[in-house]
């Protein structure tokens, strides 16, 4: 229960939150205002002590982060700046927690040429906004787009199937315009979202995956069908591949890896626009 004399920052309207003086939490570095040489100073890319003490660490932390960095461009800014020179087949995986979890579960797979740029909780609009910094600016030969799960869960509010399709198409168009090969990943299977039990996404996932497959074929991109290897007979994720029905475990990622490798071979069999 919140005390009336000490309202949580997470309870404030967005405009009021943005008007707060920098350093609203005692352990935060002030966030610069306006144009600056380093827009990530003070952005809470990790939970602060105040977030941890709030009793709702993840919610409070995410709220404060999104208020000053909605696309979460600061998540990989330092890592991007320290990367080695791109090789001829650098691949960037762009996505949400399902992509982020791949590196967490199988860290040895990723190096300076295979890059994981997943961010937990993100919707397609956020990925579109950070695509330049987290993928295109890294001189990749190819980029994989795996997105849509959190849109269907309503993580950033209501949306439409057309909006999700448009955001993914815009990311693909930007990558293609930069001469980058595009891999369009299927949305992984799920019958329910533990954090949104009122939503039953299997039908919308099937609809979007049909569109993604068709879009990839029309635009000469490579479709990466993770759904086919992860799904059970009911359109959910196989129990042995996940503990929550949404996020793959190590066995799930092991099943996904050869699908990615085969897709890359197909992608590199076509000439680049560079």
Give the pairing type, strands 114-118 and 142-146: unpaired
Strand partners, 118: 95
Cβ density class 217-226: b for 16+ within 10 Å, e for less: eeeebbbbbb
Regarding whether 153 and 21 lie in a shared domain, the answer is no
Q: Is-contact 215 165, C-beta < 8 A?
A: yes
| Whether residues 62 and 142 fall in one domain | no
Output the furthest CA–CA distance in the chain (Å, rounded): 64
Q: Does residue 160 share a domain with residue 37?
A: no
251 with 179, same domain? yes
Phi-psi region of 51 (alpha: psi -120 to 50; beta: other; left: phi over 0): alpha
Taking the C-alpha atoms of residue 236 and residue 252, their distance in angstroms, rounded to an integer, is 13
- 2 belongs to a structural domain: no
- Is 142 part of a structural domain of the chain? yes
Which of 20, 44, 69 finishes a domain? 69
**Are residues 110 and 38 part of one domain?**
no
Number of independent structural domains in the chain: 2
Predicted local distance difference test score (pLDDT) of residue 32: 82
Question: Do 113 and 149 lie in a common domain?
Answer: yes
4 part of a folded domain: no
Whether residues 100 and 60 share a domain: the answer is: no
Co-location of 142 and 257 in the same domain: yes
**118 domain-assigned:** yes
Task: Provide the CB-side half-sphere exposure for 133 (13 A, CA).
Answer: 16
If you ran DSSP here, which 8-state letter would residue 182 be given?
E
**Using an 8 Å Cβ cutoff, are 32 and 81 in contact?**
no
List per-residue pLDDT tens for the chain, 274 residues long.
333 333 333 333 333 333 333 444 435 678 888 899 999 999 999 999 999 999 999 999 999 999 999 999 999 999 999 999 999 999 999 999 999 999 999 999 999 999 999 999 999 999 999 999 999 999 999 999 999 999 999 999 999 999 999 999 999 999 999 999 999 999 999 999 999 999 999 999 999 999 999 999 999 999 999 999 999 999 999 999 999 999 999 999 999 999 999 999 999 997 776 6
Is there a domain that residue 40 lies in?
yes
Q: Which domain CATH number covers 224?
A: 3.40.50.1110
Residue 221 falls within a domain, yes or no?
A: yes
Domain hosting residue 34, numbered range: 9-69
In a domain, 190, yes or no: yes
Round to whole Å and give the CA distance between 222 and 269.
11
Domain assignment of residue 274, yes or no: no
* Dihedrals phi, psi of 94, to nearest 5 degrees: -105, 130
- Residues 205, 239, single domain; the answer is yes
């Amino acid at each position: 229960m919140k005390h009336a004399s000490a309202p949580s920052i997470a309870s404030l309207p967005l405009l009021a939150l943005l008007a707060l003086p920098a350093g609203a939490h005692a352990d935060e570095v002030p966030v610069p205002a306006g144009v600056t040489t380093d827009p990530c100073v003070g952005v809470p890319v990790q939970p602060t002590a105040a977030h941890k003490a709030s009793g709702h660490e993840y919610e409070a932390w995410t709220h404060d982060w999104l208020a000053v960095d909605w696309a979460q461009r600061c998540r990989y800014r330092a890592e991007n700046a320290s990367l080695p020179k791109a090789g001829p087949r650098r691949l960037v995986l762009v996505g949400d927690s399902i992509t982020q979890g791949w590196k967490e579960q199988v860290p040895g797979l990723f190096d300076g040429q295979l890059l994981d740029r997943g961010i937990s909780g993100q919707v397609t609009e956020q990925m579109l906004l950070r695509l330049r910094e987290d993928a295109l600016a890294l001189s990749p030969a190819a980029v994989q787009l795996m997105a849509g799960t959190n849109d269907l869960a309503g993580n950033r509010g209501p949306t439409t199937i057309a909006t999700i399709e448009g955001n993914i198409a815009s990311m693909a168009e930007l990558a293609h315009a930069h001469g980058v090969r595009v891999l369009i990943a299927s949305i992984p299977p799920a019958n329910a979202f533990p954090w949104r039990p009122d939503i039953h996404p299997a039908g919308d996932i099937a609809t979007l995956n049909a569109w993604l497959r068709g879009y990839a074929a029309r635009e000469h991109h490579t479709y990466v069908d993770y759904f086919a290897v992860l799904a059970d007979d009911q359109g959910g994720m196989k129990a042995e591949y996940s503990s929550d029905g949404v996020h793959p475990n190590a066995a799930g990622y092991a099943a996904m890896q050869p699908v990615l490798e085969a897709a890359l071979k197909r992608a590199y069999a076509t000439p680049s626009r560079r």
